[in-house]
Chain A
């Protein structure tokens, strides 16, 4: 297990290093100089040079890359060009919206997908299975931002159960905070639940053909008892992998959903920074998201190997 962990850790570090180079390069070749963007077209050359020095834009590219990476490792993400506040502070503030939103959506998606997938697998080929499978086909085809707009139309505008957008803040209490994240979380969760339910169903169906399931039946368990006691537990391995992947999808996917609901999360921060050419913010938020995704995948791989020893020896 130690060898496997080390091997995966090295590949994690390589991935992160390459990702940081790619992100840095994309931002570097971006047209437009942040200093002249901030000071306008009529700025004097010496003022521009002073500002560039202040922003740390005057060194060589390699120097700036290492400054950026070194800073991030130490928790310093630089200073926003437009707000003149530390980027790490801006990110920390926004994470309080984006992270709970992703977790909320993940919980909803799992709560919907597990029963739906198990129900469909238990009734394979019967009308119940077909209905669930039809619903998941539809769920996968629905763009989540459109679903979000429909939720607003029905539950905020017509029924007035929720606000149409915005975030009240956790200061108003847990319930108020959760309430303002409910519609966005449902919108994010639906397509993911559809995918997860399909994975759960097919994982269960694969297991139903296994010898130990036949043994369980031969011991006198009913089909449903065998499914619950032995099937679901074994199906969890592939399902957990997908849940890990989905968490990163949800974190990244919230970028668009936050636009629909005017939520002050990382997604809106990225878009505001893009339009203000506040590239240091864009760079750092994107790197943070990539870091989160790659790390979650790494942890899922480790968990997988811990559960299934065959994977360790194979690599």
Chain B
């Protein structure tokens, strides 16, 4: 296993673990106000300090991890659930009008500046985690459709698919039973990358007030709150920012590491 894979897995698990533990335990109630102790720098009592309402930053970061992960994960889920079948269909019907429609539709979504459209969607339909998920998820669909189609096309030329066709299996069954398992590795790697992009997008949307709404803690909104106080309480901005960086870096390294590990050619070359 590569260093990337180990470091990426460690950082990502750290964040996921923090999010999971936050369901049963946080050092303090993340919503409890404690005005006398506001804007404390990190110390033994409050590991990440307190915010302008005296809330414990460590607890908020833990619960915020939950929001980030949930939004990004569901957005990846939407992208996979719709994009993969589209990609499989396009590959199975290569060159047909269906393939053409799917791929041109893909190009079109790709051409949209995703952030602008995400802002448009959340602005029009109301700010909130659900709309943020939909806005981010839509732009994951063409990514998965394209990568699935690309990988599936080369598989359709292979002998084992020919054998399956000779045995009388239809295109849909071949796609599900033979193509899908063979593109799964690729999808896992891409899923990790889209997951990290989703974390960044969620942070951006909540920073401008279009993501998860109070009282749900989110890293992006913690940063927005910190903006006017950064001169006298820099930890308010430093800590949520580092949380985002650690998560995204971890997922990117994990994605790179997984790609190398799952790709037999690279493994053979290394051995």
A-side residues, CB < 8 A to B, are: 11, 14-15, 18-19, 23, 26-27, 29-31, 137-138, 140-143, 145-146, 149-150, 152-153, 157, 248-249, 251-253, 255-256, 259-260, 270-271, 274, 282, 286, 289-290, 293-294, 297
Contact = CB atoms under 8 A, between A and B. Distances in A.
Contacts of B104: 11, 14
Contacts of A14: 104
A19 B105 CA distance: 11
A256 B116 contact: no
B124 interface: yes
A15 B248 contact: no
Contact of B116 (A138, A149, A152, A290): A290
Given A26-B121, A141-B252, A146 B241 contact: yes
Main secondary structure of the interface of B (DSSP, over half): helix
B207 A293 contact: no
26 contacts: A15-B111, A19-B111, A26-B121, A27-B124, A30-B125, A138-B245, A140-B248, A141-B248, A143-B203, A143-B204, A143-B241, A143-B248, A145-B204, A145-B207, A146-B223, A146-B237, A146-B245, A153-B231, A153-B234, A251-B113, A252-B113, A270-B116, A282-B120, A286-B120, A289-B116, A294-B111
B231 A30 contact: no
B111 A152 contact: no
A140 B252 contact: yes
A252 B115 contact: yes
Contacts of A256: 115, 204, 207-208
A19 B227 contact: no
B111 A293 contact: yes
Interface in B193-224: 196, 200, 203-204, 207-208, 223
Interface of B: 104, 107-108, 111-117, 119-121, 123-126, 196, 200, 203-204, 207-208, 223, 226-227, 230-231, 234, 237-238, 240-241, 244-245, 248-249, 252-253
Nearest to A23: B120
By DSSP majority rule, is chain A's interface helix, strand, loop, or mixed?
Answer: helix
A30 B124 CA distance: 5
Contacts, number: 109
B115 A293 contact: no
A153 B236 CA distance: 12
Given A138-B245, A142-B245, A255-B116, A15 B107 contact: yes
